[in-house]
Amino acid sequence: MSVKKRNGGNAIDTSTVNPSEVVITTKHGKMTLDQLAEIQPGLGTVMVEYGKRFYRMKVAAEEGNWDLANYQLKEAREIQEVGETTRPANAEKLKNFENNYLDPIEKAIEAKDWNAFEKAYNDAIAGCNGCHAATGHAYIKYELPSTPPDLPAVGPTQ
Ligand code: HEC
């Protein structure tokens, strides 16, 4: 591996670094940067969590637990942002989805407005499936499960 130092500083010219040759030591052993990148969750993994959080958010809102709905929305944003980093080819679509569909949901949660929430939520689901179709996955149609979400408890807190 060749690493260039500029002006005696620690700057690394990454264009000369081959990630399969950079070995890092973790408490479990050694791995290359390439391997580290490879084990980051892609959209398939991200989406499983996304779908679960999206459902929990709705049930929390239905139960009037707006704080929990807000928490699930924040976590949903975080996991979708992981996808934006690990799959930059879809980052723009994901960002647009956030702006067009998650922002209105957030407003409705802040206002504790069920009618606005339900509309924004249903619009978002159409947006989810629109992106599935646009990315060649028209066969993935997100629908709400018929069984209650597992964790956490969703009853109203106040
Ligand atoms: C970038 C556009 C995009 C958006 C927006 C999007 N998805 Fe996805 N989703 C994908 C792609 C691409 C896949 C297939 C994953 C793969 O190719 O690895 C997928 C797969 C899925 C899956 C199947 C996961 C599995 O493997 O069982 C679910 C569930 C899912 N998405 C839910 C959602 C939900 C819910 C939303 C909206 C809140 C959403 N998606 C928004 C692109 C998107």
Q: How far is the CA of 60 from the centre of ligand 1 (A)?
A: 22
What residues contact residue 17 under an 8 Å CB cut-off, 6+ apart? 1, 2, 3
pLDDT digits 0-9 by tens, 50-62: 999 999 999 999 9
pLDDT of 29 reads 96
Distance of alpha carbon 145 from alpha carbon 133, whole angstroms: 20
- With CA atoms as reference, report the closest residue to 93 among 57, 52, 51, 136: 136
For residues 132 and 138, the answer to whether their CB atoms sit within 8 Å is yes
pLDDT of 15 reads 74
Q: Which domains does the chain have, with CATH numbers?
A: 1-39 (no CATH), 43-134 (1.20.120.10)
pLDDT digits 0-9 by tens, 101-136: 999 999 999 999 999 999 999 999 999 999 999 999
Verify whether ligand 1 is closer than 6 Å to residue 79 (CB atom).
Answer: no
pTM of the model: 0.87
pLDDT digits 0-9 by tens, 136-149: 999 999 999 888 88
Pocket test for ligand 1, best of 122, 128, 129, 139 (most atoms within 8 A of CB): 128
